[in-house]
Structure 1
Amino acid sequence: MDILIIVYAVLSYLIGSIPSGLIIGKFFFNTDVRQYGSKNIGATNTYRVIGLKAALPVFLCDALKGAAGVVLLSPYGPMFMILGGILGMMGHNWSVFLGFKGGRGVATGLGVLIALSPIVALICFLVWGVIVYFTKLVSLGSIIAAALVPVLMYFTGESFWFVGFGGLAALFVIVRHWDNIKRLLAGNELKVERIKKD
């Protein structure tokens, strides 16, 4: 095996592990988003705690982390592109820099999806946006959009590897949202609204 594949695979995980929400919150806004709201480091909780001025760059950075893994391993074919994307998502979800804790992988997964299939990414993003707009429930939009990925990959004629990635990515997102699913069923899920820090 080409040694560069191993190097790029490790880099994909390490790049994914960079805690964008924590870095941007602490460095630019003197706020640890893990102390407030859902205590998550992702863009949604960053928005709740700090606002769009922090949430937007966190979202973009997290998406770029996912795309980076795909791009790094793209010279080696679809299977390795997917490996890079999955490792990026794993890094975000289980960051080596945060004691193997992390976010829920939605923005990072979107970055992977944009790099693999921009059309599917656009459809999923629009579905997510409509759901969030009407319900203010980011978790619900994320779960439904993630579940659509393998279906859309299949019906847009993407390769077996891409459909398989869609299924695995959807599983990642749903598992990471398990507590959210329980709150959704109980009717007490947090909505995407600004909160005041204690």
Structure 2
Amino acid sequence: MDLALPTRLTVATDGTLGGATRRYTKLLGDLDGVYRDNTAWQAAVAEQGAESIAYAVDDHRYPDQAGGTGRDQLAADNAGALIVGTSTLQPGIVGDEYAMTRGHLHAIADRAELYHCLSGHGVMLLETVDGHSETVELRPGEAVNVPGHWIHRSVNVGDEPFVTLFCYAADAGQDYGIIADAGGMRSLIVRDGDSWAAVPNPDHIGYRADGKA
């Protein structure tokens, strides 16, 4: 049997992951439809440029053993493996909303995920398909263990990059469409004086009952 070899990773508070096998970025111009105030998003793109980085992810993945394609094959190839990485979300406000990631439910919905704050100040916005909502504020040294079946999104409520270390099952996958199909998440994280608040999203129309991609 071919076995993956143990890998030493180094994790810096600025999100640099030594030993990463992949890096991807989401640009401000990629986030059409993520923020409720589309006019404010367009203004931010015009001011900062569509190519400005909204957030970046470095992660480490072991190579697929079978090399197949499709979700069933992905699950078989990665059974028991973990993906470990860092997410660096830049600060900012679009309309009244703080800077955020697209957010997702895992495609295999019962898969959990751990987020540990390395630097900055953020909020993990968490919702279930059947109506539960939670917010978990994170500062350096604090973590949230997100159970399966929770839609989750990182929000930067500070004035410096919000950097987290994350870990989840390699077969989990991501369903980003569930949020878009619902008109956004049930709650918005908005500026409230010098702090933040979670307020209802009037555009939210409910999640797909099956919670599946």
The structure carrying a bigger helix percent of its residues is 1
TM-score of the aligned structures, taking structure 2 as reference length = 0.29
The structure carrying a bigger strand percent of its residues is 2
Q: Which has the larger radius of gyration?
A: 2
TM-score of the aligned structures, taking structure 1 as reference length = 0.31
